[in-house]
Chains A and B, each alone.
Chain A
Amino acid sequence: MPTVSMKVNGKDAKADVDPRTLLVQFLRENLRLTGTHVGCDTSQCGACVVHVNGKAVKSCTMLALTADGAEILTIEGLANGAQLHPMQEAFRENHALQCGFCTPGMIMTAVDIVHRKGNNLEEHTIREELEGNICRCTGYHNIVKAIGAGARAMSGEVTKQAAE
């Protein structure tokens, strides 16, 4: 079996894998990082979204071997220790989750939206950008609110970091 190695949430990870192992399987089964979920088999629900080299990717639609040498960020690595990421805080504050299953993918997508579209997001932009993430519980109302708030809070983060 070929070997794959990558950096996941800042830590080196290496394993021999069956070539058909998907990145999400590698994360969940080899590394036991079960926060990344699988909700469909047609690359549409977005429960599996992680960041690969800083960009949101559906980890159910990427081979683990393709991610060789990549830096992966999963929901487990988003907080800074006990300090939640502003987007995580925004989801909790705005009741943007119910059963929690789609939440990791939503949050990882939300952070990626902010990286691409900035900190002042209009409602219609957020709704369009969530095309690849399905939630069955919330009706998206509070997710949209949370992403707007989280985006604004992330600009605070940047300022804070710059000041430090």
Chain B
Amino acid sequence: MSATGIGAAVRRKEDLRFITGKGQYTDDVSRPGQAHIYFVRSPHAHARIKRIDTKTAAGMPGVVGIVTGAEFAESKLGNLICGWTVLSKDGSPMKMAPHPALAVGKACHVGDPVAVVVADTLAQAKDAAEKINVDYEILPAVVDPTKAAGKGAPLIHDAAPNNTIYNWHIGDHDATAAAFRGAKHVTKLEFVNNRLVPNAMEPRAALAEYDAGTQHLTLWNATQNPHVARLVISAFVGIAPENKLRVIAPDVGGGFGSKIFIYPEEVVCLWAARQFNRPVKWTAERSESFISDAHGRDHVTTAELALDADHKITGLKVKTVANLGAYMSTFSSAVPTFLYATLLSGQYAIPHIYAEVDAVYTNTVPVDAYRGAGRPEATFVVERLVEAAARELDLDPADLRKKNFVKTFPYQTAVASLYDAGDYNASLQKALQIHDYKGFGKRKRESEKNGKIRGIGFATYIEACGVAPSSLVGQLGAGVGLWESAEVRVNPTGSVELLTGCHAHGQGHETTFAQLVAERLGIGIDQVNVVHGDTDKVQFGMGTYGSRSGAVGMSAIVKALDKVEAKAKKIAAHLLEAAEGDIVFKDGKFTVAGTDRSVAWGELALAAYVAHKFPTGEIEPGLKETAFYDPTNFTFPAGCHICEVEIDPETGVTSVVGWTAVDDFGTVINPMIVEGQVHGGVAQGVGQALLEHTVYNDSGQLVSGSYMDYAMPRADNLPSLKVDMTVTKCPSNPLGIKGCGEAGAIAAPAAVMNAITNALGTEKIDMPATPAAVWSTIQQLNKTRLAAE
């Protein structure tokens, strides 16, 4: 390993601009003459829009234009779409209702935009917006997913009777039922997987500019996938042909999924920029983010685990209702199905699994992928069940897990996934040792002395990353392929531009991708410049989400580098007057095997462009190669997280006092960055388990609509984390990478809740386990105990 090569904890190249305030996020970009747009949003969860009076507002100072949903509809643009078709059990396609960028006739959730004001300044736009009079007829609303399909629930979209989008299933119903009939023990639990608001710290933003001369539109957008945004906005919404639209995703301040999707705001900004022939800027305020960014999770699940006399798991039955909100967001349909139920086997050999998922509309903000996207929900189901089963059977939860782990690979699960490699017991054992599992009893007694209740919980999770290959996702209903592209441009001086279709918004690609290229070509990482996030520079790419950039994006880079090396060898053979097959490339030097004749990388690069005396018939001048890489399978990161909590029974406050994570991410490019990803994921998972609570009241108002009521994890909510790794390489890609971005968020909620339920001695507590919830659970238990005595 070189000092900057694969496996080295190289300090990040991108940091200099961020620590000096020189980052360029969308809102930092300003264009001459730019106007500001303000979205008038429905204050009601479900309401007919009878009339919108804009007359007074139109005369307000600085107003450039006002457009209502009905007026916007006259432009005959397409709707926003969900790009993944899921079929119901009966084979019928999901019921996707129209999602216009601005609501027409009816608003379906608080925050649904119904009109926009464009003005010289944002303050003027807001002042004018207040003078717009929208006459609403308030309709009954439904927010609870378990009630949405029931009798008497208000119908949200005509296209979806009973507010039902699909009734989907996977696995063998009959075989699973038989397994339960033969079971010695059955553990049954009910869960709510709480709705979360992603809260990337940079609010979403868009800035659109129109060049009337070239009829070219440019969009600066806080997005995780600029090419997908351009494709959808061109091909489906129809704002402009793809070749007349440039999407730039500059520095993006976190995404966690919420910036994958194509939202109304960027579409309307583009349209307005052309309509008013002025650059138009929108930046969400945080309170606006709460009611307009796609939320995450929101499942209600009943699940049962069957075990035989030998404590082997023999079956799993899961029934989930997934709340998709008021409209189907870009990838919403796939999250509670293919990204969820296909992982329900966890790390275990479970011969029979059957899962049913009903997706429903409600009068709430749309729900889509949020860090982990379906996989945290699956892990929560499996890991809570296994832990509860161990308690019911009076077994050590680590032992029950070990007994049921998948041990031979490849392993075909009962829910379609084909696990390719792993050593689940290795990560469990390492975690037990690092955590000092044996010392838990002693620590628990210490806590008792101080009036505290200590608990410990595990999550041995599985995740699927790098969702692929394209042929498979196509069969599953995806509207796109999930390959990745890379282009290696070698400059005449030997430095390199690496163009990638991935997009970094915190992941450190400018460093890790450079590490890969630099090591391969034998040059310094400062000689490699990573270019991403601009559709005019990078030809096409699928962006960054689902922990795909290492496994898929870097594989594409490897493939492009293979091509560069092959051509370079051709050139070297010509320069060294040797046979191509005799050229060896090592440490940045091309050598004729067995001789001391060589040409250095820099000389070769220059020769490629100077091309004097080139046999141009055989070798084209220049050195630049592109590759598209489509993996052969998903990757399956896995690991073991152990959480230890201490509860103050007087107040119900839960403190996370210990955390051990041992993850198997396959090959690690930069351990510093990988550990950082684990830290962040764990914090988000702890947030879900203890703090973050998205509350709608019955009339559909978001009660937790700001940081005053939505508790974000802060530094004092978390301990220092012990993070370590085991490695089994992924056989499905050339580098052996599995992916690390979501692991923490997948493992943590289950680990925390297993620790809390261990401490309290009951399985009956939902996330978030706030102090109030823990306290009232303790009160309930005390009452039950008293009654029993």
* Residues of A in contact with B (beta carbons under 8 Å apart): 18, 20, 28-29, 32-42, 44-45, 47, 74-76, 78-79, 84, 88, 91-93, 95, 97-104, 107, 123-124, 126-128, 130-131, 133-144
In the assembled complex, the CB of A99 is this many whole angstroms from the nearest CB of chain B, namely 3
- Which B residues touch A97, using CB under 8 A? 15, 18-19
In the assembled complex, the CB of B223 is this many whole angstroms from the nearest CB of chain A, namely 13
Contact of A100 among B18, B203, B708, B721 (CB under 8 A): B18
B20 x A39 contact (CB < 8 A): no
- Which A residues touch B506, using CB under 8 A? 98-100, 137
Question: Most chain-B Cβ atoms within 10 A of its Cβ — which of A32, A38, A128?
Answer: A38
B680 x A138 contact (CB < 8 A): yes
A140 x B683 contact (CB < 8 A): yes
| 0/1 string, B242-266, CB within 8 A of A gives 1 | 0000000001111010000000000
In the assembled complex, the CB of A147 is this many whole angstroms from the nearest CB of chain B, namely 9
A127 x B716 contact (CB < 8 A): yes
Say if the beta carbon of B507 comes within 8 Å of chain A: yes
A131 x B714 contact (CB < 8 A): yes
Contact of A136 among B17, B256, B285 (CB under 8 A): B256
* CA distance in complex: A107, B16 (Å): 13
Say if the beta carbon of B11 comes within 8 Å of chain A: yes
B19 x A101 contact (CB < 8 A): no
A95 x B12 contact (CB < 8 A): yes
- Which A residues touch B672, using CB under 8 A? 95
B715 x A137 contact (CB < 8 A): no
Closest to A142 in B: B676
Q: A41-B706, A95-B11, A139-B713 are in contact. List 15 more A-B contacts (CB 8 A).
A: A29-B30, A34-B24, A35-B20, A37-B202, A75-B19, A92-B16, A98-B506, A100-B15, A103-B18, A126-B715, A128-B716, A131-B715, A137-B201, A139-B744, A142-B676
Contact of B716 among A45, A131, A142 (CB under 8 A): A131
In the assembled complex, the CB of B551 is this many whole angstroms from the nearest CB of chain A, namely 19
In the assembled complex, the CB of B594 is this many whole angstroms from the nearest CB of chain A, namely 44
Q: A35-B23, A84-B20, A139-B718 are in contact. Are A134 and B505 (CB under 8 A)?
A: no
Closest 4 CB pairs of A and B: A35-B21, A101-B253, A100-B18, A139-B683
* CA distance in complex: A98, B508 (Å): 7
| 0/1 string, B656-694, CB within 8 A of A gives 1 | 000000000000000011011001111110000000000
Say if the beta carbon of B200 comes within 8 Å of chain A: yes
A41 x B21 contact (CB < 8 A): no
* CA distance in complex: A130, B784 (Å): 41
Q: A139-B680, A139-B744, A142-B679 are in contact. Are A74 and B253 (CB under 8 A)?
A: no
- Which B residues touch A84, using CB under 8 A? 19-20
A141 x B721 contact (CB < 8 A): yes
- Which A residues touch B744, using CB under 8 A? 139
* CA distance in complex: A92, B15 (Å): 6
- Which B residues touch A32, using CB under 8 A? 30
Q: A95-B672, A135-B201 are in contact. Are A100 and B251 (CB under 8 A)?
A: yes
List 6 A-B residue pairs with CB atoms under 8 Å apart, sorted by A's residue number: A35-B23, A40-B286, A44-B708, A45-B707, A97-B15, A138-B676
Say if the beta carbon of B593 comes within 8 Å of chain A: no
A98 x B201 contact (CB < 8 A): no
CB-based A-B contact count at 8 angstroms: 179
* CA distance in complex: A84, B287 (Å): 35
B715 x A143 contact (CB < 8 A): yes
Contact of B718 among A91, A99, A140 (CB under 8 A): A140
Interface SS of chain A: loop
Question: Most chain-B Cβ atoms within 10 A of its Cβ — which of A44, A141, A144?
Answer: A141
Question: Most chain-B Cβ atoms within 10 A of its Cβ — which of A20, A79, A140?
Answer: A140
| 0/1 string, B727-766, CB within 8 A of A gives 1 | 0000000000000000010000000000000000000000
Say if the beta carbon of B310 comes within 8 Å of chain A: no
Residue count of chain B within 8 Å CB distance of chain A: 57
* CA distance in complex: A63, B715 (Å): 28
A20 x B199 contact (CB < 8 A): no
A134 x B712 contact (CB < 8 A): yes
Q: A18-B123, A95-B676, A101-B201 are in contact. Are A41 and B286 (CB under 8 A)?
A: yes
A36 x B21 contact (CB < 8 A): yes
- Which B residues touch A34, using CB under 8 A? 21, 24-25, 27-28
Closest to A145 in B: B720
- Which A residues touch B24, using CB under 8 A? 34
- Which B residues touch A134, using CB under 8 A? 201, 707, 712, 714
* CA distance in complex: A123, B15 (Å): 24
B721 x A101 contact (CB < 8 A): no
* CA distance in complex: A97, B721 (Å): 16
In the assembled complex, the CB of A17 is this many whole angstroms from the nearest CB of chain B, namely 11
* CA distance in complex: A34, B283 (Å): 14
* CA distance in complex: A44, B711 (Å): 11
Question: Most chain-A Cβ atoms within 10 A of its Cβ — which of B200, B201, B203, B683?
Answer: B201
- Which B residues touch A143, using CB under 8 A? 715
A98 x B286 contact (CB < 8 A): no
* CA distance in complex: A97, B14 (Å): 10
A100 x B253 contact (CB < 8 A): yes
- Which B residues touch A126, using CB under 8 A? 715
- Which A residues touch B442, using CB under 8 A? none
Q: A101-B254, A135-B201, A136-B684 are in contact. Are A35 and B676 (CB under 8 A)?
A: no
* CA distance in complex: A63, B16 (Å): 30
* CA distance in complex: A38, B200 (Å): 12
- Which B residues touch A41, using CB under 8 A? 285-287, 706
In the assembled complex, the CB of B124 is this many whole angstroms from the nearest CB of chain A, namely 10
Closest to B676 in A: A95
Closest to B685 in A: A139
In the assembled complex, the CB of B458 is this many whole angstroms from the nearest CB of chain A, namely 19
- Which B residues touch A79, using CB under 8 A? 20
In the assembled complex, the CB of A100 is this many whole angstroms from the nearest CB of chain B, namely 3
* CA distance in complex: A100, B714 (Å): 17
B712 x A136 contact (CB < 8 A): yes
A37 x B25 contact (CB < 8 A): yes
* CA distance in complex: A97, B679 (Å): 12
Say if the beta carbon of B438 comes within 8 Å of chain A: no
Closest to B256 in A: A136
Q: A41-B285, A45-B201, A92-B15 are in contact. Are A144 and B720 (CB under 8 A)?
A: yes
Closest to A85 in B: B19
- Which B residues touch A93, using CB under 8 A? 11
A100 x B14 contact (CB < 8 A): yes
* CA distance in complex: A47, B20 (Å): 14
- Which A residues touch B20, using CB under 8 A? 35, 75-76, 78-79, 84, 88
Contact of B200 among A35, A95, A99, A131 (CB under 8 A): A99
* CA distance in complex: A55, B321 (Å): 51
Closest to A135 in B: B201
* CA distance in complex: A29, B506 (Å): 25
Say if the beta carbon of B22 comes within 8 Å of chain A: yes
B11 x A130 contact (CB < 8 A): no
- Which B residues touch A130, using CB under 8 A? 714-716
